[in-house]
Amino acid sequence: MTPTVEELAPRTEDEVREHLVAGKLVEGLRHMSPEYLKGMRRILTVSADTELVSAPAYLRAAQHAPALNNFGSAVSIIQDELAHAHIGYRLLGDLGVDMSALIYEREPEAFKYPYAFDVPLDSWHELVMANALYDQAGFVLLSDVHASSTFGPWKRALAKVDKEETFHLRHGRTWVKKLCADPAEKARVQAAADWMFILTLEWFGLPDDRKRHGIQLEYGFKGMSNDELRQSWMAAVVPFMEEIGIDVPAHWDADGERWVIDCPFPARFDEERKAWLLDEGPIGWDEVIERWKARGPMNSAYVERLQRGHRSRMALA
Ligand SMILES: [Fe+2]
Ligand SMILES: [Fe+2]
């Protein structure tokens, strides 16, 4: 029988708080309370699932690489993502989770990565835009975890992950810039930005007035709130897009000292056409959550692809 979180994590909530107030890191189950353990498992699962699903998503688009050496760079990014996923799942294994069941036996809709990855990347333009936007989102989120996490083993592992994510987003930016030099290619880059920018805005989750973070911030699972993370992503992405002449619906408001979204947000998304129905105006977050929960077009195909090898091996055993 799998042990419960209560059996695995011996500390009380007060003991964890004292440990953290004393400036110490949590090094393993022996320092955890049930709430800390549950929260850490949740955030590690989201992170590892996101890294893992990016592999089939990027591989699908890598087929459109303009030349073999470009395909090679895409594959090296995919290898990094698999290694990042492995770090997360290994840590979950240390925290008493059945890693193999988690990766290979979960239903596709039970995976916890952002909805953006459920929408297919169908061209090299969309792949490099994903490096510029999605990897930037990953970088913002993981840098925050790296800076604030109280879980020592993860915090230390993220030093290397951060460097590799920097390479991914640089790959994205270099290519996006290069493609923009040619007007025909630029139009395709703009078309990719049109659906992918707003989808990445959603990535950071519910606005702060809708979501209470309580334990996530208190236990140092993250340092910034969802809206702060969204701001920090826009601060990195919008000036770059302006520099290369790609329009994105956001601007810096000097008076309010914040980035402002210039389109209805959140909005309805037509996932078959990969287009935002902005004319219909803003929608409520409940409708967005419904779309996220239903998952998108590629969810089962990607998870099936990730689980296929293991399944056939088990069938032979
Ligand atoms: Fe990654
Ligand atoms: Fe990445």
Residue 216, pLDDT above cutoff 90: no
Question: Position of tokens 């760079």?
Answer: 73
Q: How far is the CA of 82 from the centre of ligand 1 (A)?
A: 8
Task: Locate 295 and state its tokens.
Answer: 């998952």
Q: How far is the CA of 38 from the centre of ligand 1 (A)?
A: 23
Residue 221, pLDDT above cutoff 90: no
Are 141 and 229 in contact by the 8 Å Cβ rule? The answer is: yes
H-helix or E-strand spanning residue 258: strand 258-261
What tens digit of pLDDT does each residue of 21-32 get? 999 999 999 999
Q: Give the β-pairing of 258-261 and 250-253.
A: antiparallel
**Separation between Cα atoms, residue 178 and residue 101, nearest integer Å:** 43
Looking at the DSSP bridge assignments, the partners of residue 252 are: 259
How far does Cα 239 stand from its chain's mean position? 21
Are 185 and 125 in contact by the 8 Å Cβ rule? The answer is: yes
pLDDT band at 61 (very low <50, low <70, confident <90, very high): very high
Residue 182, pLDDT above cutoff 70: yes
Residue 313, pLDDT above cutoff 90: no
What tens digit of pLDDT does each residue of 77-90 get? 999 999 999 999 99
Which pLDDT belongs to residue 89?
98
Are 189 and 125 in contact by the 8 Å Cβ rule? The answer is: yes
Q: How far is the CA of 78 from the centre of ligand 1 (A)?
A: 8
What tens digit of pLDDT does each residue of 92-110 get? 999 999 999 999 999 999 9
For the chain, percent of residues with pLDDT exceeding 70? 98
Which pLDDT belongs to residue 213?
66
Are 118 and 299 in contact by the 8 Å Cβ rule? The answer is: yes
| Ligand that lies nearest to the alpha carbon of residue 169, given by its number in the listed order | 2
> Of 108-122, 178-192, 199-213, which gets the smallest average pLDDT?
199-213
Query: Where would I find the H helices in 149-268?
Result: 152-180, 183-203, 215-218, 226-244
